[in-house]
């Protein structure tokens, strides 16, 4: 009898634990499904009757590159038709929708998707059009999605209807190769009062001017061509990355004033991370450079600069002198950057002066051609002016054999203001200091 009880208990226990996953709370099930690629989430409907319709109420639908590749590899049916089938089976609000289209072929099909989404409480829209004869023109109902908190567009035409006042609760905005005028862009940003993160990358079009007024903006990343940039009410802007493309017309640099640097930093009272390329340095330096900014960017902790030649050295010195709380400095110089005797002399003079001291600088990363005279003198300057420096990375990839050894021997002879400073060479089999 005991044996029968034991067997009965075992059967009951096996029955109660055989399908634990189907008895999970709804919010846990939903979290599991959302962590899966959409195709796999739909396939869970074959697990059991309880899972058959579990995916149809998911608040996010992601048709990304991976979804497209798997679909094209396994089936020959139409990509958009598959998306339509998923949308027809779906029930409830769609909070997030992501669509990646390799080639723009049928605009009306995407229009219909956005029309459907505009009536379903959409909060996050990611639309990546990879290529096409013309950018995808956003339909008018896109601008009625006033619950949007995140908007990411690639290769689209942004031309809102009259009366559009912006997305009042938008937090993040990312535009890549989006056709948009300077006026519309500035109006869009000012119409998003809660905007915290802005990223713009434009390879194909240029802006004559840019005005960015965003009182809650915390992160700005801009890469493209523009003749003038103005930041207003950027009291919370902590991360800034600005890049001009190499093929930006040279005449854009003309007409600058010595106050460019002053005006720029006056609009960034809270900046902690700053990344600028050579084109940006040239733009802000047009007309002249001050030895030191009248108002120090006292919150700046990380500075990254990428230059094409040493003629930007005056701007570099100005920024270093004016950044009392700088903790990390990264600078890149191309291998074939020209050196002029005047700059080399100025480097030596600055090392002997007492008007620059990098009292909080702990880490320096020097990229590319640091085996030449300019690089050696600049390394010497930084070592002599950084009393708490801990780590300096100096890649010598362009130097070989005896040249590399000679370079590192010279560096080890330089006076170091910090007793803890170590200089590292970026080589695969070396992780020790010199």
**198-227: pLDDT as tens digits:** 999 987 667 777 788 999 999 999 988 776
pLDDT of residue 418: 94
Does the pLDDT of residue 193 top 90, yes or no?
Answer: yes
DSSP per-residue letters across 35-75: TS-HHHHHHGGGS-TTTTTTGGG-SEEEE-HHHHHHHHHH-
Query: What is this structure's pTM?
Result: 0.80
The least confident of 145-149, 155-159, 179-183, 334-338 is 334-338
Does the pLDDT of residue 105 top 80, yes or no?
Answer: no
Task: Give me the half-sphere count of Cα atoms (radius 13 Å) on the Cβ side of residue 347.
Answer: 22
pLDDT of residue 12: 44
Which residue spans within 208-281 are E strands per DSSP? 210-213, 219-226, 229-232, 239-244, 273-277
Average pLDDT over every residue of 285-299: 79
Does the pLDDT of residue 428 top 50, yes or no?
Answer: no
**Euclidean distance between CA atoms 144 and 162, whole angstroms:** 12
Which residue spans within 132-283 are E strands per DSSP? 136-137, 150-154, 156-157, 172-176, 197-207, 210-213, 219-226, 229-232, 239-244, 273-277
SS3 at position 141: helix
DSSP per-residue letters across 355-415: S---TT--EEEEEE--SSHHHHHHHHHHHHH-TT--EEE---TT--HHHHHHHHHHHHHS-
pLDDT of residue 37: 62
Other Cβ atoms within 10 Å of 386 Cβ, number? 24
Average pLDDT over every residue of 338-347: 65
Q: Which of 334, 276, 266, 326 is nearest to 305 (CA)?
A: 276
The least confident of 45-54, 85-94, 248-257, 369-378 is 248-257
Q: Is 274 exposed, middle or buried (0-12, 13-18, 19+ CB in 10 A)?
A: buried
Q: List Cβ neighbours of 18 (8 Å cut-off, separation of 6 or more).
A: none
The least confident of 297-311, 319-333, 342-356 is 342-356
Q: Are 165 and 143 in contact (CB under 8 A)?
A: no
pLDDT, the chain, mean: 78
Sign of torsion, CA 62 63 68 71? positive
pLDDT of residue 104: 78
Q: List Cβ neighbours of 44 (8 Å cut-off, separation of 6 or more).
A: 33, 36, 51, 54, 55
pLDDT of residue 133: 83
The least confident of 173-187, 337-351, 416-430 is 337-351
More confident call, 152 vs 351: 152
Chain centroid to CA 43: 34
**Euclidean distance between CA atoms 115 and 138, whole angstroms:** 11
Does the pLDDT of residue 119 top 90, yes or no?
Answer: no
Does the pLDDT of residue 78 top 90, yes or no?
Answer: no
More confident call, 322 vs 90: 322
More confident call, 129 vs 288: 129
CA distances 354 to 132, 327, 385, 427, Å, are 58, 19, 9, 34
Average pLDDT over every residue of 397-413: 76
pLDDT of residue 90: 75
Does the pLDDT of residue 254 top 50, yes or no?
Answer: no
pLDDT grade, residue 344 (50/70/90)?
low
Q: Which of 73, 66, 172, 184 is nearest to 126 (CA)?
A: 172
**Euclidean distance between CA atoms 17 and 29, whole angstroms:** 17
Does the pLDDT of residue 95 top 70, yes or no?
Answer: yes
Task: Give me the half-sphere count of Cα atoms (radius 13 Å) on the Cβ side of residue 100.
Answer: 9
pLDDT of residue 46: 46
């Amino acid at each position: 009898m005991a044996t029968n009880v034991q067997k009965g208990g075992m059967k009951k226990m096996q029955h109660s634990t055989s399908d634990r996953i189907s008895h999970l709370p709804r919010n846990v099930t939903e979290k599991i499904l959302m962590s899966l690629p959409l195709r796999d989430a739909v396939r869970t409907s074959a697990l059991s009757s309880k899972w058959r319709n579990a995916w149809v109420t998911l608040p996010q639908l992601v048709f990304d590159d991976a979804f497209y590749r798997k679909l094209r590899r396994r089936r020959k049916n139409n990509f958009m038709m598959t998306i339509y089938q998923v949308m027809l089976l779906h029930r409830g609000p769609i909070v997030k929708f992501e669509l990646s289209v390799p080639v723009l072929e049928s605009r009306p099909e995407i229009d219909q998707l956005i029309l459907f989404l505009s009536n379903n409480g959409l909060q996050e829209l990611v639309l990546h059009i990879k290529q096409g004869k013309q950018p995808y023109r956003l339909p008018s109902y896109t601008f009625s999605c006033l619950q949007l908190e995140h908007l990411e567009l690639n290769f689209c035409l942004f031309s809102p209807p009259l009366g559009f006042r912006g997305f009042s609760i938008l937090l993040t905005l990312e535009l890549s190769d989006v056709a948009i005028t300077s006026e519309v862009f500035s109006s869009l940003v000012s119409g998003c009062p809660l905007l915290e993160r802005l990223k713009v990358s434009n390879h194909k079009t240029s802006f004559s001017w840019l005005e960015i007024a965003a009182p809650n903006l915390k992160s700005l990343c801009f890469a493209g061509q523009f003749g003038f940039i103005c930041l207003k009410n950027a009291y919370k802007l902590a991360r800034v990355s600005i890049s001009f493309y190499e093929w930006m017309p040279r005449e854009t640099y003309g007409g600058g004033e010595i106050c460019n640097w002053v005006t720029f930093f006056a609009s960034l009272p809270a900046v902690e991370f700053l990344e600028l390329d050579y084109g940006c340095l040239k733009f802000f330096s047009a007309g002249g450079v001050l030895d030191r900014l009248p108002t120090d960017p006292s919150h700046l902790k990380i500075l990254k600069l990428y230059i094409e030649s040493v003629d930007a050295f005056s701007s570099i010195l100005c920024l270093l002198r004016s950044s009392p709380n700088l903790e990390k400095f990264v600078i890149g110089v191309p291998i074939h950057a020209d050196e002029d005797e005047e700059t080399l002399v100025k480097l030596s003079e600055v090392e002997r002066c007492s008007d620059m001291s990098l009292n909080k600088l702990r880490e320096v990363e020097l990229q590319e051609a640091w085996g030449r005279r300019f690089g050696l003198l600049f390394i010497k300057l930084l070592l002599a002016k950084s009393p708490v420096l801990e780590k300096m990375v100096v890649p010598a990839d362009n130097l070989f054999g005896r040249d590399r050894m000679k370079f590192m021997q010279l560096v080890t002879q330089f006076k170091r203001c910090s007793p803890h400073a170590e200089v590292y060479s970026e080589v695969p089999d070396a992780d020790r200091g010199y």
